[in-house]
Amino acid sequence: MCNPKNIIQDIIDKHPCNVSTVLKNQHAEIYEWLLHNVDGSSYSEKVYKYLNGESDSICYSNTCHNTCTFQSLFKGYSKYCSYDCSGGSKRVKRVVNTCEWCNSTFKTREINTRRFCSNECRIEYGKTSECNEKRVASNIRSNRELYGVDYFYQTPDFLEKSKETKKEKYGDPTYVNSEKAKRTKLKRYGDPTYNNFEKYIETCKNRYGVSNTFFLGRSNGKRISKGQRNLYEKVKQEYPDAILEHYLRDVGASVDIFIPSINKIIEYYGDYWHCNPKYYEKDYYNKSTKMTASELWDRDREREERLVEGGYDVKIVWENKSIRSTNNIKKTSM
């Protein structure tokens, strides 16, 4: 008579999805013997134990001898009976960490980077302004590395696509849903024309030292971009006399940042508005400025030469580059 183990193994190889059914139909005596003489919660577990022995069901932990959970005929038993045994085994060391939210201590695996003792603490920390600031800063760093801007919606492709979509839906590339804005203001503040002037004045005083940007002396009335403001704040830390949007009468030009103490001009060039050569070909037509990239470059070069001829040291900073330090401002010129 053939060895029962060989018969069962042959059935597993040929009929992996119907082992018990085939065994019952073709080898009823083996099927009945396994059913009544081998322990197991399922017939698959009985077959696995008969073929591999009882030892495979014992927990791998040195301090525990419990039976592990049976997974399937092909996977067998799990290695550990619980997470405690898995974490406390010799293969995985346990360490004590301090929760960043409630300051309680908890045990975790050495290879695990858990910062919180529970999911509730993690959720509560995620609601804080500190976590939100880190999330925003991380998002800005990623966008600068990938697209050269702080936010994806500032990329030229996104702006062009937005205009095309607005023109297709509303017939106007600069469409703004003013009615919805009024409804939102009415719902939130009780006034459809609400404007938080107090916050605006406070922000202007903190950033520029004046209550309104009108008093900054801008000659062309242009809006100051966030990137230019950030650059100015960094320069201001090292050069307190730095001026944002200053008009130079001797050359008849308004410059982005002027440092009187070292006679230095810093111009902030937006990638789209000045057609950064890193992203645009010379024949690219900028719909906003109504000029090609090469025409913009010639215009900017003539302006820079005029500033240099006026006796000023000029530095150009492109939007896609982040100023980490202002120590090189004295050394760098056009």
Same domain, 221 and 306: yes
Mean residue pLDDT across the chain = 81
- CATH (domain of 264): 3.40.960.10
197 belongs to a structural domain:
no
The predicted pLDDT at position 212 comes to 65
With contact defined as beta carbons under 8 Å apart, do 194 and 187 qualify? no
Same domain, 308 and 235: yes
Count of domains in the chain? Answer: 4
Give the integer Cα–Cα distance in Å for 275 and 303. 16
Dump pLDDT digits (tens) for 28-66. Answer: 888 888 888 888 888 888 888 888 876 667 777 766 778
Same domain, 49 and 76: yes
294 belongs to a structural domain:
yes
Q: How confident is the model at residue 220 (pLDDT cuts 50, 70, 90)?
A: very low
194 belongs to a structural domain:
no
Tokens of 80: 């550990």
Give the integer Cα–Cα distance in Å for 37 and 10. 21
Dump pLDDT digits (tens) for 249-305. Answer: 788 788 889 999 999 999 999 888 899 888 888 899 988 888 899 999 999 999 999
Strands in 253-259's sheet, in edge-to-edge order, are 243-248, 253-259, 264-269, 313-318
Residues ≥6 apart with Cβ < 8 Å to 96: 105, 106, 107
Q: How confident is the model at residue 102 (pLDDT cuts 50, 70, 90)?
A: very high
Residues 102-113 have a mean pLDDT of 81
- For residue 44, the surrounding DSSP H or E stretch is helix 43-52
Give the integer Cα–Cα distance in Å for 190 and 74. 67
Same domain, 308 and 221: yes
63 belongs to a structural domain:
yes
Three-state secondary structure call for residue 5: helix
208 belongs to a structural domain:
no
- Structural domain of 120: 94-126
The predicted pLDDT at position 259 comes to 93
